[in-house]
Amino acid sequence: MKKIVLFACLFLVGVVAKSQSITTGLIASYSFDDSTAKDVSGNGHHCVTHGKPTPKAGIKGASFYFHGAPADYFATPSTADLNLGSGNEWSISLWYYKESTTKAPTVLEPMVCKGKDASATVDYIIFLENGKFVWGNGASNDTAAWMRISEPSKLKWHHMVVTFKKTKKGTSSTNYYAKNIYQDNVLIKTDTAYIKASSNSKDSLFLGHYYDGNHGNDYYNGYLDEIRIYNRVLTLGNIDSLNKLKYTGIEKLNDVSSFKVYPNPTNKECNISFELKESTKIMATLYDMNGKLIYELANETYPVGQTSISLNYPSMINPGNYVLRIVAGNQVLHKNIIVVK
């Protein structure tokens, strides 16, 4: 192992203003920034934890890493507002990160799912399977209901949005539904020919889990962050604002002061000094300039007061430019660093 040291005050990447445009119609919102699966929309859809999903650094605060089996997932009971069927319009926005490992092609990796039964009919579901990103509603044998695109690249955070919108075709009185998939702020696929509304069920909302008579229990293996469910169709402006969460940082700074990292450039060790106003969990991760996660450096809780820690980096890290990401509670700070021989 070798150590790397960085110098300079870390800077706050930006501030996300609370905008009515991305809170209107919000049914449930899981930011995970306090390392729990609380619903921060104000609607009380707090999740119960099953297994041991692990808090990790996310796009702007904490995320959760799901280990797959054995049974890592969150669940919240069904309520009327979570039932998006019966002809309603809706959207789901989420961020996810997959490592290079993958499961067998016959295994689903569910991210968000509402509904489960032996006939494989769900209100709505988003999952990965056999190199595809899939979202659907209704019966799994209804090919129009299950929309597929090629799975985005691994080892990178991706922002995915799915929308379900009422539309008309010509003079027909039949309600049609336009279904869209957006990947990293780009419309990837659309279908305006779907004529069935979503289902409604009394089953729970699951994050990281799905069950039906064909597959049995399936679990997600990877990172999830910033999951939001809406009872309306997100606009392009909304999608753009949600996509920028990764780059704009945190909403407020009130727990941490005096972060310093030194020296920079360096080739030996990384020291971080900071003062905490309250006991806070600190996560430090290193990314390359393409956004690829290189290494997790620290992930533990530190007490009130002035603290200094050294970060150990693996010897495999090559000289070059990197980004050090510090997550402290609901705060995110970044610092560009240079590693030399």
Share of the chain above pLDDT 90, in %: 30
Domain holding 106: CATH number?
2.60.120.200
Which domain does 254 fall in, by range?
2-12+250-339
- Which of 297, 292, 259, 298 lies closest to 13 in space, CA to CA? 259
Q: Check pLDDT > 70 for residue 255.
A: no
On average, the pLDDT of the chain sits at 78
For the ranges 56-70, 236-250, 272-286, the one whose mean pLDDT is highest? 56-70
- Count of all residues that appear for the chain in the document: 341
H-assigned helices in the chain: 236-243, 245-248
Which of 2-16, 177-191, 217-231 is the least confident region?
Answer: 2-16
The pLDDT tens digits of the residues spanning 191-208 come to 876 555 555 667 899 999
Q: Which residues pair with 148 in a beta bridge?
A: 134
Q: Which residue has the tokens 């696929």?
A: 189
Overall domain count for the chain: 2
The pLDDT tens digits of the residues spanning 47-83 come to 999 999 999 888 877 899 999 877 899 999 989 899 8
Query: What's the whole-model pTM score?
Result: 0.68
The pLDDT tens digits of the residues spanning 292-330 come to 778 787 888 888 777 787 877 667 778 888 888 777 766
Instruction: Tell me: do 233 and 306 sit in the same domain.
Output: no
Q: Check pLDDT > 70 for residue 272.
A: yes
Burial class (CB in 10 A: 0-12, 13-18, 19+), 318: exposed
Instruction: Tell me: do 254 and 145 sit in the same domain.
Output: no
One-letter amino acid identity for 221?
Answer: N
Question: Are the C-beta atoms of 308 and 262 separated by less than 8 Å?
Answer: no
Between the two ends of the chain, the Cα-to-Cα distance in Å is 14
Taking residues 106-119, report their average pLDDT: 76
Instruction: Tell me: do 7 and 24 sit in the same domain.
Output: no
The last residue of one of the domains, among 222, 248, 274, is 248
In the prediction, which pLDDT does 106 show? 53
Taking residues 165-189, report their average pLDDT: 80
The last residue of one of the domains, among 248, 277, 293, is 248
Instruction: Tell me: do 79 and 30 sit in the same domain.
Output: yes
180-188: Cβ within 8 A, 24+ apart = 181/133, 181/135, 181/147, 181/149, 182/239, 183/133, 183/149, 183/152, 183/158, 183/159, 184/152, 184/158, 184/159, 184/243, 185/159, 185/239, 185/240, 185/243, 188/149
Higher-pLDDT residue of 207 and 84 is 207
Q: Which two tokens stand for residue 315?
A: 């010897």
CA atoms within a 13 Å half-sphere pointing along the CA-CB vector of 132: 15
In the prediction, which pLDDT does 328 show? 74
In the prediction, which pLDDT does 228 show? 97
Sign of CA dihedral 309, 315, 316, 320: positive
Q: Check pLDDT > 80 for residue 93.
A: yes
